[in-house]
Copies of this chain bind each other. A is one copy, B any other.
Amino acid sequence: MSDPAPQVPPQLAAYRATIDNLDAALIHLLAERFRCTRQVGRLKADLHLPPSDPAREEQQVARLRALAEEAGLDPVFAEKFFTFIVAEVIRHHEAIRDELSE
């Protein structure tokens, strides 16, 4: 009986093992980040602060672009990544605010 799954070249399998470990680490860091921003959302709602803070976001983008550049990551991609994360965070903050004001 032949194996129906195509053979993965050993070097590709090795890269994939690294990618899988990095992805698991990324998921766990993202989980912690959202755990933290949920607390920020509750604190902002308690203190009647707005869900988003453009000045803080501008500083974060500048810092992450600089870190990306040093680490060899495309700073344009780093900024897109940050925008992607912040859109989700603001969605959470608004939901918390709406829940608390109901």
Q: What residues of chain A have their CB less than 8 Å away from a CB belonging to chain B?
A: 9, 11-12, 15-16, 18-20, 22-37, 39-40, 43-44, 47, 49, 56, 60, 63-64, 67-68, 71-74, 77-78, 81-82, 84, 88
Contact = CB atoms under 8 A, between A and B. Distances in A.
A101 to B, nearest CB: 19
Nearest to A41: B15
Copies in the complex: 2
A9 B53 CA distance: 14
Contact of A31 (B19, B25, B33, B68): B68
A81 B77 CA distance: 13
B84 A27 contact: no
Contact of A11 (B33, B43, B74): B43
A29 B22 contact: yes
Instruction: Point out which of A44, A63, A67 has the most chain B C-beta atoms below 10 A from its C-beta.
Output: A67
